[in-house]
Amino acid sequence: MEQPLKLSVKDLSVTYVGRDGEKTEAVRDVSFDVADKPDCGEIIVFLGPSGCGKSTILKSIAGLTPPTEGEILVDDKPVTEVGRDRGMVFQTYTSFAWLTVRKNVEYGLKLQGIEKEKRKELSNKILEEVGLADFAERYPKDLSGGMKQRVAIARTLVNNPRIVLMDEPFGALDPQTRWGMQSLLLQISKIENNTIVFVTHDVSEAVYLADTCYVLSKRPAQILEKVDVPPFPVKDITLKSTAEFRAIENQLLQMLYNKS
């Protein structure tokens, strides 16, 4: 029996039209499905060169950018606008400077009308998961770049979206912080059981995070290959230097440079 689909993207094409009427084709005929796997956190990675249209795919799934052609379904329902079933984490820090970490995380819950005690219960749980429990009453100006991105992740996850969309969220971080955030994301995906759709142009990051990796062409983005990354028994810093890890990196690099 086939599993139901959590996300289905069918023949997605997006063309932007500038003020002068000039057209820029960003995405062309992208199709993929993500099965609904209960109690199984999954990370889908889109790997492609900078400016290829990766972010446009995410924005279309989020409901921020309407398709020029094609259709996007979440739980068999067409995406026509933004919705709570999808949450997005951007590359730039998006915290409200005038709110504490806790109030940033609870912001969406407050808009939903959830009572104060329940908001605190939910924010305590997610702040603990992302390692910010001791910083709940601090302001974003007091935080490092990695911590600010943890706030953005917590603010998205606390709303319990079916799909988490992440647009190169660790791109501005130093290598050590970036690795720590990648490991945090792997932990969270197991705890929260979300489907995470993650965009990057970093091959090592793609191999480390992905259960499934889609390799994209240069703009307009098209899917060149789908690669199922084997489940490594342990994912830690030493994994990236192993022959198995390097072999998959090389495989993806060949796809990027020989076909894009």
Do 194 and 210 have their domain in common? Answer: yes
Do 75 and 185 have their domain in common? Answer: yes
Rounded Cα gap, residues 105 and 102, in angstroms? 5
Confidence of residue 252 (pLDDT cuts 50, 70, 90): very high
Average pLDDT for the chain: 91
Q: pLDDT exceeding 90 applies to what percent of the chain?
A: 69
Confidence of residue 1 (pLDDT cuts 50, 70, 90): low
Residue 37's pLDDT is 80
Mean pLDDT for 59-84 is 95
Pairing of the two strands 195-200 and 23-35: unpaired
Q: What are the structure tokens assigned to 113, written together? A: 């009308």
Residue 260 pLDDT exceeds 70 = no
Do 168 and 251 have their domain in common? Answer: yes
**Structure confidence by residue, pLDDT tens digits, 214-235:** 999 999 999 999 999 998 888 8
Do 55 and 81 have their domain in common? Answer: yes
Contacts of 2 (CB under 8 A, 6+ apart): none
Do 50 and 39 have their domain in common? Answer: yes
Rounded Cα gap, residues 208 and 29, in angstroms? 27
Do 109 and 238 have their domain in common? Answer: no
Q: Is residue 90 part of a domain?
A: no
Of the three residues 108, 132, 160, the one that is the final residue of a domain is: 160
Least-confidence region, from 94-98, 163-167, 210-214? 94-98
Residue 10's pLDDT is 97
Mean pLDDT for 186-210 is 90
Closest by Cα among 57, 1, 70 to 29: 70
Do 104 and 212 have their domain in common? Answer: no
Residue 93 pLDDT exceeds 80 = no
Q: pLDDT exceeding 70 applies to what percent of the chain?
A: 98
Mean pLDDT for 243-249 is 94
Confidence of residue 3 (pLDDT cuts 50, 70, 90): confident
Residue 121 pLDDT exceeds 70 = yes
Identify which has the larger pLDDT, 43 or 171. Answer: 43
Chain centre distance of CA 213: 13
> In terms of residue numbers, what domain contains 115?
95-160
Q: Is residue 11 part of a domain?
A: yes
Mean pLDDT for 45-70 is 95
